[in-house]
């Protein structure tokens, strides 16, 4: 039988049965597509190599553990794994910036631009205006306590003195203000994250 | 659409994984054995 004629599904099933050579054929057959796919996302040879390796480690483990189901095709499944790992890579990198080991010192590795970019500024403004609109919906007593606490940074003791209610009442109003705001946010499916 | 001239797409790159990576994977596959015990599955790397 010619090697090229064996379908992926058959190679996968042979591999699960213990034929290690099938894995080699599968890797040889698809390595370029998968590698190029990863490279097109990360644009770095070393990272591509890592992600490629992690992809196949996952493939091997899944196949050996018998968790692979034959519903889809092999290549799209591997591509999906690679895609997820690329996303993981970018997530990890945004939390922990890469150390660029080129031997040159880069000032940008210790400096960060803390100012918001245009998109984030717009989102921030939207979130703030949404929050203000929700606060406007609150009953007057709750709104008063919340404004004093959050925007004027007053303590509950000061709030109770200013409004002439006990500290416990002020705390209660704050609590209900937050509960009511959450309710409005849930009811209207408002997204307040950036 | 405006063309962006500042970024050139890398061409003529040999987009293939290194042979070491492939051989690592094949060795990993050979070394990994899954032991079934009742309904549990254990992974063992036997190098």
Share of chain B above pLDDT 70, in %: 70
Query: Which residues does B contribute to its contact with A (CB < 8 Å)?
Result: 10, 13, 15-18, 21-22, 24-26, 28-30, 32-34, 41, 43
The whole-number pLDDT of residue A57 equals 94
| Radius of gyration for chain B, computed over Cα atoms and rounded to the nearest angstrom | 21
Measured between beta carbons, which residues in chain A are less than 8 angstroms from residue B18?
49
Which chain B residues are Cβ-neighbours of A53 within 8 angstroms? 17, 21, 24-25
pLDDT value of residue A3: 47
* Residues from chain B contacting residue A31 (CB–CB below 8 Å): 16-17, 22
Phi/psi for B35 (5° steps) reads -105, 125
Cα separation of A56 and A62, whole Å? Answer: 10
Say whether A35 and B16 touch across the interface (CB within 8 A). yes
CB neighbour list of residue A192: distance below 8 Å, 6 or more residues apart: A127, A130, A131, A185
Kindly state the percentage of chain A with pLDDT values over 70. 85
- The residues, ordered by sequence, that sit 6+ positions from A169 with a Cβ below 8 Å of its Cβ are A160
Distance between CA atoms of residues B47 and B45, nearest Å: 6
* Nearest chain B residue (CA) to A25: B26
Classify domain A3-103 by CATH number.
Answer: 1.10.1740.10
CB neighbour list of residue A44: distance below 8 Å, 6 or more residues apart: none
Q: What are A19-57's pLDDT values in tens digits?
A: 999 999 999 999 999 999 999 888 889 999 999 999 999
pLDDT of residue B40: 79
Q: What residues in A contact B16, CB-CB < 8 Å?
A: 31-32, 35
> Predicted ipTM?
0.71
Residue B15 vs residues A34, A48, A81: alpha-carbon distances, Å: 9, 10, 19
Query: In terms of pLDDT, which residue wins out, B47 or A85?
Result: A85
Strands (E), B1-47: 32-37, 40-45
Kindly state the tokens that stand for A162: 């200013």
**Which residues of chain A form CATH 1.10.10.10?**
118-187
Residue extent(s) of CATH 1.10.1740.10 domains in chain A: 3-103
Of A55-59, A144-148, A188-192, B17-21, the poorest mean pLDDT is in A188-192
- Mutate: best of B9, B13, B15, partner A, most A CBs <10 A: B15
Does domain A118-187 fall under CATH 1.10.10.10? My reply is yes
Euclidean distance between CA atoms A64 and B44, whole angstroms: 11
* Nearest residue of B to residue A29, measured between CA atoms: B16
Residues of B in contact with A66 (CB under 8 A): 34, 41
């Amino acid at each position: 039988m010619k090697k090229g004629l064996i379908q992926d599904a058959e190679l996968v099933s042979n591999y699960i049965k213990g034929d290690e050579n099938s894995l080699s054929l599968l890797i040889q057959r698809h390595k370029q597509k998968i590698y190029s796919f990863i490279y097109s996302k990360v644009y770095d040879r070393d990272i591509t190599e890592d992600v490629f390796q992690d992809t196949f480690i996952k493939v091997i483990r899944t196949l050996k553990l018998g968790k692979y189901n034959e519903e889809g095709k092999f290549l799209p499944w591997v591509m999906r794994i690679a895609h997820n790992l690329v996303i993981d890579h970018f997530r990890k990198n945004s939390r922990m910036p890469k150390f660029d080991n080129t031997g040159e010192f880069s000032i940008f590795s210790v400096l960060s631009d803390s100012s918001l970019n245009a998109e984030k500024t717009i989102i921030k403004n939207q979130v703030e205006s949404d929050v203000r609109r929700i606060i406007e919906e609150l009953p007057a007593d709750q709104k008063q306590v919340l404004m004093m606490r959050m925007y004027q940074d007053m303590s509950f003791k000061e709030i109770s003195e200013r409004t002439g209610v006990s500290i416990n009442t002020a705390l209660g109003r704050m609590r209900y203000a937050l509960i009511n705001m959450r309710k409005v946010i849930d009811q209207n499916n408002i997204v307040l994250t950036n | 659409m405006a063309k962006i001239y500042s970024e050139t797409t890398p061409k003529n790159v040999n987009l293939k994984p290194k042979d070491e990576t492939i051989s690592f994977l094949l060795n990993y596959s050979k070394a990994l054995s899954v032991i079934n015990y009742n309904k549990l599955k254990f992974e063992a790397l036997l190098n």
